[in-house]
Amino acid sequence: MTTATVRAPSRYAEVVLVVFGGYSVLVGLFMLVAPGAFFDTLGNFGVRNDHYIFDNASFELPLGLMMLGAARWPSWRVPALAFAALHWALHAVSHLVDPHHGAGDWVGWLEAAGLVITTAILAIALRRSITAQRRS
């Protein structure tokens, strides 16, 4: 097996971790810095509640930092990707159960579809990381 063959699954996971980790950090910061703008654009489900927005930020921000750390430290990859995939999967279920976004149900369904797709991307990265870890 060549180095390039072993490295390919690792590269995919690194890219996924950096992209999703960066996204989670940015969303977490967005929630903390501008909860009203966050609610109006992304989180417009039900009645605005800044406390719950801050609670979600306190989860999203460390999740993103963990994923960015896992891009740097390979031993973190499987646990970080497993945790992130589970988070995105549960988030997708939430949006599938309640797609009623303030901007219209079509926005809620679009967000749900995006969450399902991103869950699949994370699951693929997790599977590749597990395989790479077993080989090393």
Q: How far apart are the first and last CA of the chain?
A: 12
Read off the tokens for 123.
């699951």
Tell me if residue 107 falls in helix, strand or coil. helix
Q: From first to last of the 136 residues of the chain, give the pLDDT tens digit.
A: 444 444 565 799 999 999 999 999 999 999 999 999 999 988 888 899 999 999 999 999 999 999 999 999 999 999 999 999 999 999 999 989 988 877 778 888 998 999 999 999 999 999 999 999 998 8
Cβ atoms of residues 72 and 14 within 8 Å: no
Where along the chain do its domains lie?
3-135
pTM: 0.87
Q: Quick check: 28 and 87 in contact, CB under 8 A?
A: no
DSSP H or E run through 94: helix 77-97
